Amino acid sequence: MKAATSDTIVDSIEATRVKQFNKNKWFFSLGGIGRDMSYQLINAFLLTYVQFGVSLELVQFTTLSIIIGVGGRLWDAVNDPVMGAIIEGSHLKWGKFKPWIMIGAIGCGAIIILMFTLRVFTGWAFVAFLVVAYLLWETTYTMNDIGYWAMLPSLSSKEKERNQVTMLTVIFAGLGAFIGQGLITFFTPGNVVVGYRNMSIIIVASLILCQALTTFFVKETPRTEEEKQSKISLKKMWKTIKNNDQLLWMALSLICYSVGSGLLVALAYNLYYLEVGYDNQAFYFIVIFGVCSIAANALYTLLANKLGRKKLQLLSAALAILGYIGVALLGWTSILPFNILTLAIFGVLIFTGQTLFYMATIINMTNCVEYNEYTQGERNEAVVSTLRPFVAKFSSALQYGIVTLVLVASGIYILSQNISTMESQKNFLSGIKTSTEQIDYISDIQDYFEIYENALDKGDANNQIETLIAQDGLTKYQLKVSYLQSLADCKIFRTTFVNGEQVGDPVDLGIWKNIDGSVLLSDSGTTTYVYSMELIAGGYNAANLNFKESGTLEMRIWMRIAVCGLPIILIAVAWLIQNKKFKIDEKFYNQMLETIAARHTETLDTTNSKEASEDNLNEKPEDSVNKM
């Protein structure tokens, strides 16, 4: 009877644990949607926003990118391990991980909104502002990132459950990346300033909501008394990471993979705008990315069970490399034209392969927690998990460096400032409050066009226009003479309002440089007029005239090397490292769990035996007599 009762209790405890795990895995993984939306906004689009939405000199853009890349990593070298140690030593009532997850989400959300909405700084002042904002973002995001990923291995040590929660987490993270990239790609071309401002607010709201699901609905695994009493120092943390050889090999592999796979995303919009045009049709490429990522993640468990992680990684790396070779060949012949359809076809191979490879890599890295317990006797989830966000941000820094080198050395950044000028001036024109001021702005710039076109010496014309900009009070609009001509190709529209109500559709007044002054009407009585400028309208695309049509063969070659050649090399190296150096396959992992379980049983038996001996020693003689 006692054995049956004991088995019943064990079964009941296990059933309760499984029920809680099933709840945890959904609310934990759902938190990844908002996280990856926000991470994509910064990691994939911050430089794109600066490039196409902020007017900076080449030296300012280069300085900004280098400081963020190098300075950010130096800051990470201090920030990440300190935060890992703080989380590992946390003994808060709310939990070990959850307080940092929520505090970090709220903090980095506030900073993201500032990054994309505060536009009072220009030139070097903007560079300083964005550097400070970026470092603050990294600090707060690290709080969230380490707390979130450190919680993952603590949810379960069972391989099947670990695979389930990891798969769901990566699926929802991929969904978040897809939604974030899709929204930004669809709503920002031709409307960069307002588009990014709106997207930052939507994405931050999603971040905080999703992280609230994890914070309030996931129940953390209770910590043992030994874990509560243990202290973690920076020295001990460094020793833990240094002695975990499998973790270090995984970190190196993940760096290669992250840089390689991230370059296509980081430079995709420059590639697309250069080859196809400046529009929002790249959205459909992002849809392919989302569908492939979600489908590949859903099939991961089936494929991993059938093939094993090593074979699956070989297959997935080969698929991605084949896709990159296809993209590299696009556009050079009529057989493989460069358009959204051909790009999407090879994108299926790239995204499917990369998703499967990344999924296996994350599981491998997560399993290093058990390896740490197996070799060093301690799990230290937060310490081991510190390396993953550090790797992600270190990889991001390398990406920043490569992206900056490509944009600067190829001349693409200089060319893209034509679009940046258009986007900035569109925002300034819409911000002018009265039609009279708008007309003066439009007319003054028309005068500059005429001076430049009629001048025999363009250098003298530039100097003359620079003087007039100051005299006319237009310096506040950050006009740059060198890119002024790109505005000449934009279209001006006039919208009529009577008693505050819009009347009819906006009227197309034509290309800016050809506008007749008689169509620029001032407010009269209850009738008011609002003028706007558009880069893209009714099949007309001024951005293409000043970017795609002006691109050179050298620019295109630089772009293909960066988005195809380097990823092929780096993904191959990432696979090679794991194939040759990583030994924790499914069989080895199960052996580790058995050894760890045996140790716990032995420790428990020893403890119980010791307690029994102490009870016997403390037993009084009269107690023995009474027992008899």
Question: Is 617's pLDDT higher than 60?
Answer: no
In 10 A of CB 155, how many CB atoms? 23
Query: What are phi and psi for residue 493, nearest 5 degrees?
Result: -120, 150
pLDDT value of residue 281? 79
Region 456-485 average pLDDT: 86
Residues with Cβ within 8 Å of residue 2, at least 6 apart in sequence: none
Residue type, 548: K
The top-scoring range by mean pLDDT among 78-87, 375-384, 390-399, 614-623 is 390-399
Question: Is 343's pLDDT higher than 70?
Answer: yes
Q: How confident is the model at residue 627 (pLDDT cuts 50, 70, 90)?
A: very low
- Of the candidates 42, 252, 45, 28, the one whose C-alpha atom is nearest the C-alpha of residue 141 is 42
d(C-alpha 300, C-alpha 309), whole Å = 10
Question: Is 393's pLDDT higher than 80?
Answer: no
pLDDT value of residue 77? 65
Residue type, 203: I
- Strands (E) across 220-318 are located at none
Can you spell out the DSSP letters for 398-451? HHHHHHHHHHHHHSHHHHHHHHHHHHHHHHHHHH--SHHHHHHHHHHHHHHHHH
Region 84-110 average pLDDT: 82
pLDDT value of residue 6? 63
DSSP H stretches of helix in 122-191:
123-155, 159-187
Q: How confident is the model at residue 196 (pLDDT cuts 50, 70, 90)?
A: very high
Among the listed ranges 16-30, 287-301, 329-343, which one has the minimum average pLDDT value? 287-301
d(C-alpha 475, C-alpha 169), whole Å = 49
Question: Is 556's pLDDT higher than 50?
Answer: yes
Question: Is 494's pLDDT higher than 60?
Answer: yes
Please, are residues 541 and 418 in contact by the beta-carbon 8 Å criterion?
no
Query: What are phi and psi for residue 144, nearest 5 degrees?
Result: -70, -45
Question: Is 385's pLDDT higher than 70?
Answer: no
Q: How confident is the model at residue 228 (pLDDT cuts 50, 70, 90)?
A: low
pLDDT value of residue 553? 95
pLDDT value of residue 370? 86
Please, are residues 486 and 52 in contact by the beta-carbon 8 Å criterion?
no
Q: How confident is the model at residue 365 (pLDDT cuts 50, 70, 90)?
A: confident
Q: How confident is the model at residue 586 (pLDDT cuts 50, 70, 90)?
A: confident
The top-scoring range by mean pLDDT among 3-7, 452-456, 542-546, 589-593 is 542-546
For 512-524, how does the pLDDT look when each residue is reduced to its tens digit (9 = 90+)?
999 998 999 999 9
pLDDT value of residue 349? 93
Region 497-511 average pLDDT: 94
Region 148-157 average pLDDT: 81
User: pTM of the prediction?
Assistant: 0.80
d(C-alpha 532, C-alpha 425), whole Å = 10
Q: By three-state DSSP, how is residue 354 classified?
A: helix
Residues with Cβ within 8 Å of residue 123, at least 6 apart in sequence: 56, 57, 60
Question: Is 506's pLDDT higher than 90?
Answer: yes
Give the orientation angle of helix 2-43 with respect to helix 123-155, to 10 degrees: 170
pLDDT value of residue 628? 44
The top-scoring range by mean pLDDT among 59-63, 264-268, 620-624 is 59-63
pLDDT value of residue 625? 46
For 293-303, how does the pLDDT look when each residue is reduced to its tens digit (9 = 90+)?
788 878 888 89
Secondary structure of 278-306 as H, E, C letters: CCCCCHHHHHHHHHHHHHHHHHHHHHHHH
